[in-house]
């Protein structure tokens, strides 16, 4: 298990771009009184909102207490005042965390860990996030500073005031403020989230996925429902503590309908055990200051957290991995801001120094300064400088980026009347790249037209917001400057799609220049996930026939082939077999592949061995290169996946930074690379050119949403390459055990631009994508290389 870094991309939702932080005007982290852990959740259950003028009265008069909690209201004025004080006045910050990971404007340390992930197409997860200065005093169930992703809530205390506002605390506890403007709740700049009030409570909708979150009238999270019919319902006990997250899939067979995460609490009201759907137990330990100090995984290995700064007893100062090695250390100044992040590999160490409106970062023999200003109530990046030159940013009154000028080029952005990105023009030494978007309605992120260099895309939707029609054609506009007036030339591709009652893709038919080339039919299994995908044009057929208690695939079959997977106690693939029957396309060979994985205590692949038995003979060991080719072919949906009998060469092992990058097989990647359309229509085109060469630089501004259906692109200004590669395939590239997406160093983009280009060159030598291939080996190699080099 490695440190997971927050993403600034849409993979973690657009709201993460608007993460809010305290101005640390005084030192923080004083030890909480022992009663806080018990009483604060009770105050929250009573409807007492920190910062609200009625909070003390509600906490004192409406909090339900018993024999063991009477002190929460009896002579508890000081404790209630501490709870109701709420966080210090906040100034939200929209920059990305850097250096494993620290928010550079205010020096706040943040961390994210994934404790469970189901095998569903849109996974059920249990994650933890840490902030060295928490926003919610009432969020104590995982210790000071830590929250889980099911502690989202709304502060609706100001919803009916003279200047109505609602604050949404997201999965990592960071607040996002909505103001009532023209009858609509909106953030200052477009966030990709929408909220509305109904008779019984509130609904928050993620516009990139159409996932809806339901809240009570008091702002307590009750459930979330994905666009494809998966509902996660939260259960609370009489003390207001979350005890279970129950997932039900619309249309699922009753036997497989329910997937549950169960939580148990200690006498101080903290979660001490999480039981996942497969029965695995993850246990949490705390110290006397209510700090989370240990996490014991289902396999018995322990991850530890250190808080050894005597000035700030709740400030995280280190992480000790499952092998007993201290892998990260943070130090703080007198105001509680992080001044350094240190690692065993000293080349990754970073130091911070702060001024009133700037932060200087130093690493190795380099340094850089980032400048900030308060715009529309948020602390935003306005520029910076490194040894490579200066960068400046111009913002509008709402905080939207209008122009970025840097040594490697100039980017200019424009927005529509509701703040949605409408145009991006990026000029550099290699030329001009312009992307234009016209939206299908007044509120969503659904485009009707997207114009990019050499290509036009059009979309049509049904009443449920599903893409039912998609077309693209080549244009003569090499820069995108003609926008929607570009002249069509060359090939034209169209897709027609239909969906079932649960908005799940049921059929997609592809035409190229009027000729049907693909006709896909999709069927759901008893869990509500994909069972079988079939292309009736080519005859390709494959699907998941059985799943384990966490909905991870265990058996997949197709024409004359079968794959089987087993998992260890932490849900990682431990064994993969593939039975490929003899037929003309295999040269008459019957081949049986076996791949075994072993892991280090901290979750990395320690070893991978493979054998192949041919025509019933004894299994023979194969090289790592040969395993790579088998696995790559399987993940891309190839049939057959085994190399030709006379093939002497094979795919080289992916390397990054001099180390072999091995990840477990991704059991259902074939769905995205072969059977569905996101990779084929969009993402490969953003990473591989039509000539089969890798896209250089970092000019594409499009990110892809709704990968479970016919997808659509979103224009997001000034997003780093890390965000782009994280957003599309959380399932494709994180479910395979490689959840470490690397450091997000968008604030030091010039340095990482060099790393990005070097990694492209490196991976082109080892895994050069071809026009007819998927480009996935190259994609993985590049991502691993970038992450290994700290970007």
CA 597, 601, 606, 607 torsion: positive or negative? negative
Among 50, 66, 70, 46, smallest CA distance to 58 is for 46
Helix (H, G, I), strand (E, B) or coil at 90: strand
pLDDT over 70 (residue 642): yes
What does the pLDDT average to over 445-461?
Answer: 95
Q: What is the dihedral of CA 127, 7, 144, 191, to 10 degrees?
A: -100
Mean pLDDT lowest among 39-43, 93-97, 438-442, 614-618: 93-97
Among 367, 374, 370, smallest CA distance to 383 is for 370
Question: pLDDT per residue over 242-263, tens digit each?
Answer: 999 999 998 887 777 789 999 9
pLDDT over 70 (residue 12): no
Domain ranges of the chain: 35-88, 152-228
Distances (CA, A) of 301 to 1, 284, 599: 10, 12, 12
Burial class (CB in 10 A: 0-12, 13-18, 19+), 768: middle
The per-residue pLDDT of the chain, averaged, comes to 83
Among 556, 651, 739, 519, smallest CA distance to 12 is for 739
pLDDT band at 104 (very low <50, low <70, confident <90, very high): confident
pLDDT over 80 (residue 5): no
Name the residue with tokens 């516009």.
Answer: 207
The pLDDT, as a whole number, for residue 767 is: 65
Cis amide linkage into residue 118, ω under 30° from 0: no
pLDDT band at 10 (very low <50, low <70, confident <90, very high): very low
pLDDT over 80 (residue 15): no
Higher-confidence position of 699 and 666? 666
Higher-confidence position of 335 and 350? 350
Contacting residues for 97 by C-beta, under 8 A, at least 6 apart: 5, 6, 103, 104, 110, 744
pLDDT over 90 (residue 597): yes
The region that residue 29 occupies, defined by phi over 0 for left and psi between -120 and 50 for alpha, beta otherwise, is left
**In 10 A of CB 130, how many CB atoms?**
23
Residue 40 pairs in a beta bridge with: none
DSSP string across 188-228: SS--SEEEEE-SSEEEEEETTTTEEEEEETT-BEEEEE-TT
């Amino acid at each position: 298990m490695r440190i997971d870094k927050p993403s600034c991309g849409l993979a973690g939702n657009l709201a993460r771009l608007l993460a809010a932080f305290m101005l640390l005007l005084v030192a923080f982290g004083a030890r909480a009184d022992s009663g806080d852990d018990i009483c604060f959740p009770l105050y929250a259950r009573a409807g007492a909102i920190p910062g609200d003028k009625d909070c003390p009265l509600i906490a004192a008069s409406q909090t339900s207490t018993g024999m063991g909690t009477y002190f929460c209201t009896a002579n508890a004025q000081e404790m209630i005042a501490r709870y109701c004080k709420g966080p210090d006045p906040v100034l939200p910050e929209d920059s990305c965390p850097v250096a494993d990971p620290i928010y550079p404007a205010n020096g706040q340390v943040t961390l994210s860990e994934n404790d469970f992930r189901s095998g569903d197409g849109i996974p059920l997860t249990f994650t933890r996030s840490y902030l060295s200065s928490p926003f919610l005093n009432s969020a104590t169930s995982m210790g000071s500073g830590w929250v889980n992703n099911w502690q989202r809530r709304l502060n609706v205390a100001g919803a009916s005031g003279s200047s109505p506002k609602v604050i949404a605390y997201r999965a990592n506890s960071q607040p996002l403020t909505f103001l009532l403007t023209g009858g609509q709740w909106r953030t200052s700049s477009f966030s990709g989230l929408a909220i509305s009030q109904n008779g019984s409570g509130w609904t928050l909708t993620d516009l990139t996925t159409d996932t809806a979150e339901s809240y009570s009238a008091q702002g307590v999270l009750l459930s979330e429902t994905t666009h494809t019919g998966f509902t996660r319902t939260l259960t609370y006990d009489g003390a207001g503590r979350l005890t279970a997250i129950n997932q039900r899939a619309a249309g699922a067979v009753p036997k497989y309908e329910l997937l549950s995460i169960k939580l148990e609490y200690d006498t101080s009201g903290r979660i001490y055990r999480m039981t996942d759907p497969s029965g695995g137990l993850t246990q949490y330990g705390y110290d006397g200051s209510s700090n989370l100090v240990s996490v014991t995984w289902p396999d018995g290995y322990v991850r530890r957290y250190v808080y050894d700064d005597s000035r700030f007893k709740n400030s995280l100062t280190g992480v000790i991995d499952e092998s007993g090695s201290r892998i990260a250390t943070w130090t703080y100044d007198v105001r509680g801001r992080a001044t350094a992040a240190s690692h065993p590999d000293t080349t990754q160490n970073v130091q911070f120094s702060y001024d009133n409106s700037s932060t200087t970062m130093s690493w190795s023999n380099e340094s850089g300064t980032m400048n900030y200003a308060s715009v529309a109530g948020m602390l935003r990046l306005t520029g910076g400088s490194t040894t490579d030159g200066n960068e400046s940013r111009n913002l509008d009154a709402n905080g939207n980026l209008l122009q970025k000028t840097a040594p490697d080029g100039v980017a200019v952005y424009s927005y529509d009347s509701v703040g949605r990105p409408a145009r991006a023009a990026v000029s550099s030494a290699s030329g001009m790249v312009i992307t234009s978007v016209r939206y299908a309605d007044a509120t969503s992120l659904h485009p009707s037209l997207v114009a990019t260099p050499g290509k036009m895309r059009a979309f049509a939707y049904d009443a449920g917001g599903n893409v039912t029609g998609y077309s693209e054609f080549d244009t003569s506009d090499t820069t995108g400057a003609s926008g929607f007036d570009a002249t069509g030339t060359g090939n034209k591709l169209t897709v027609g799609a239909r969906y079932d009652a649960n908005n799940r893709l049921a059929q997609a038919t592809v035409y190229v220049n009027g000729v049907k080339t693909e006709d896909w039919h999709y069927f759901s299994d008893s869990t509500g996930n994909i069972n079988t995908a079939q292309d009736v044009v080519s005859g390709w057929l494959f699907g998941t026939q059985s799943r384990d208690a966490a909905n991870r695939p265990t058996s997949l079959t197709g024409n004359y082939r079968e794959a089987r997977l087993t998992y260890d106690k932490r849900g990682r693939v431990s064994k993969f077999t593939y039975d490929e029957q003899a037929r003309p396309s295999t040269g008459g060979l019957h081949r049986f592949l076996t791949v075994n994985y072993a892991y280090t205590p901290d979750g990395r692949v320690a070893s991978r061995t493979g054998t192949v038995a041919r025509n019933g003979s004894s299994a023979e060991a194969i090289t790592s290169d040969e395993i790579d080719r088998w696995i790559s072919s399987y993940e891309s949906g190839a049939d057959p996946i085994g190399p030709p009998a006379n093939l002497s060469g094979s795919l080289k092992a992916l390397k990054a930074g001099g180390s072999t990058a091995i990840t477990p097989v991704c059991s259902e990647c074939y769905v995205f690379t072969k059977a569905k359309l996101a990779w084929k229509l969009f993402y490969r085109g953003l990473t591989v050119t039509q000539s089969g060469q890798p896209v250089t630089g970092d000019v594409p501004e499009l990110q892809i949403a709704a990968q479970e259906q016919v997808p659509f692109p979103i224009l997001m200004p000034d997003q780093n390459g890390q965000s782009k590669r994280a957003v599309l395939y959380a399932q494709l590239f994180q479910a395979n055990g490689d959840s470490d997406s690397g450091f997000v160093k968008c604030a030091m983009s010039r340095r990482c631009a060099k790393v990005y280009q070097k990694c492209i060159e490196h991976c082109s030598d080892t895994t050069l994508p071809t026009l007819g291939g998927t480009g996935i080996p190259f994609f993985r190699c590049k991502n691993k290389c970038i992450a290994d080099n700290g970007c």
